Structure 1
Amino acid sequence: MIQICDHKLLIFLLLIMSVLACETTEILTFTGYEGGKVEIRCPYESGYEEKNKYLCRGECSVLNKDIPVESGSPAKDRRFSLTDDRTTHIFTVTITDLRTEDQGKHWCGVRTGLGTYDKYTEINLEIKPDLVSVVSRVTGEHLNITCHYNSDLKNKIKFMCKGSDPSLCETSGIKVSSETNSTGRFSLRDDESAGVFTVTITDLTLEDSGIYWCGAGETGQKNKNKWISVTDLNINNVLASETTEILTFTGYEGGKVEIRCPYESGYEEQNKYLCRGECSVLNKDIPVESGSPAKDRRFSLTDDRTTHIFTVTITDLRTEDQGKYWCGVRTGLGKLDKYTEINLEIKPGKSEYSV
């Protein structure tokens, strides 16, 4: 029996033992947003279906494994959960309520048995503070969704698809790609020199509301595409100002929202404004009005006199912004202004997507 008396030699040997046995140098990168969630998909080899799987944070040495979740055991961090699809040989770790400290190196681990090294795949997790883009439009209009991409995606196929889950929409919900250029009311134009592609949707309908994903890669190649950006599109009916129907718009804390206010022909030259709360005749809280500096610098107003729609943009959204508003049109002295009631919803969650 060999005794190791030199503690420095012992430490050296232990360090050697702590080297991870990675069969590939390829690193999988996933992206999420603060407050949202991300799904980390971990492929593994056939033959390990019955073995425990886990996610390890940091360097994950033999002597220091930070494992927030492992199959067969309760998660040490309740934000983490793990499911194992033994048919496709992919286990998925879902992390919710993402935080900036979640960013960095992780490892997908598979237990191999006593006396053998576990199997590892290195993961790079990126956490972004940006929110999903929230856009509102009305029926009959057209919309341009602009998608910026890095130079490494220049020669890849660009596409956009619709669906709450990108892993589903990339195979079943693709609307248009740079291979087809146009599909019905959807068209795509790619400017490789600028690193931007633009998807245009014409003649918008209520059914067009939903989540749209800009991607690059190979259409139909599930889990092999890079998701670039995501847009939450809300379509409203064009409503006359006399109607009692309420327009609802949704935004996210820290983000921005565009409130689009339709008005009748004949009022192109009249002032437009947004009014908060009950907006009574004797108590109008008007943060922004055309022709005057905004009282609240987070509010701005533009008027498209051709389409008869003025748009109020609110940035740096806060929970106290939620509630009732009114799109107002000045009609002249001695006359009641024209109003459309607005309901603004502010959500604390942030949308996410993964690569």
Structure 2
Amino acid sequence: MWSLHHLHFMLYVALSCVTCTADVIQVFGYEGRDVSVSCPYGGGYEKHEKYLCRNECGSRDVLITTSQTNETKYSIYDDRRSRIFTTTISTSRFTDAGKYWCGVTRDLKDVYTEVRLKITPDSCCNSTTQIKADGEGSVSIRCPYESENEDSLKYICRGKQPSTCLQRALITSSRQSGRFSFTDDKKSRTFTITIYNLTLEDSGSYLCGVQSDSGLDDFSAVELEVKEWCCVIPKNMTGVVGQSVTVQCPYPPEDHNNRKFICKGNKHDCRDVMMMMMMMSQNRFMLHDESSSSFSVTITNLEASDTGTFWCRSDSEWRVGNYTQFHLSVVSPPLPETGAVFYVLLSTPAALLLIPVVVVLVMVCKHRCSKVKEPEVIVDRNNIEAENNHEQVYGNDGFLIMLQRNTKQQNPYQEEDESEADYENITRTLDP
């Protein structure tokens, strides 16, 4: 039977394949995955036997028929209502690529449809876009596509295997989902997937997919790294009330034309933006875009209430590298020391003119003070009690007066004159 079919096939190929359909069925598959070959047929052949064969479609080239049920690599199903029979090749390999024929058995001559199968690796891609983001924030993944796919289905999935990406899609252009949002800019031919409330588990590989009716879907690869906020080290800065402080805010080169801004808040979401806008309206905050890689923020006339955490950013989306976190502590100015005060006073031009006047006043005061006599001490002898040639006398001014009688040897022949008694070494001490 199959030798007769072989003869018919060779005859009809030589006659320009008069029994072949005009179109060639293009089938694409991924290595290691199942591949399905769908073959349509005309009305009236619903009950005829169908089969799939390779090469010249000889008896040994027939892979499976609708009457066979014991094949393991191939399976076949005939949908007579839609008049399409489908053959599935399980766990395809690169050696499975090539030319096939869909056959429908008829008397004398069968009907054949050519099939060309292409097997590609189940991986993607030649290049990968690296994206970094911070936990609790959001990230936008931008995916380009060709102009002919403007109205095609677009989607994103996790992993690196294109074969199952659509089945595992996190979000598509026709279906929204939870933490994911989809926007399509057809002018720039780019669709954007935004992921909110990022966690460390969101790190990994992603594929942007664009469905194609003519073959395999088009993909672009993205590698996302989510970083913990605990690992973000802020810059610690100290300012003085009434003075100014300046902080440098680096940013990636691609953000050069973006709007730069600053906000205040304990968390990166900057919920105190309105308060910051009020402070900026007081013209105390000045932003200067100094180069293509950084801008500076100067806060003038510092106040104690400026103490807190600030964030300067170069993009509306939170991404590692486009923001700077710094913690500002505003302290009161130190109290000046006495020596410092005199130094400041003497360092002024007006103080230099006062120096000669001060010198003259000091000399006059010294001259007058040298003419002042010490107060006279009056001692009442009747109140003196001598003890061991030492005496204690309390004067009217409340001072204790210590007197020591002269112990010099007296002339025994000279009469002692009390009126000429000699007292020496008079010492005053405070009355205890």
Structure index of larger Rg = 2
The structure with more strand, counted as a fraction of residues:
1
Q: TM-score range by the shorter chain?
A: 0.3 to 0.5
Give me the TM-score of the superposition, normalised by structure 1.
0.47
Give me the TM-score of the superposition, normalised by structure 2.
0.39
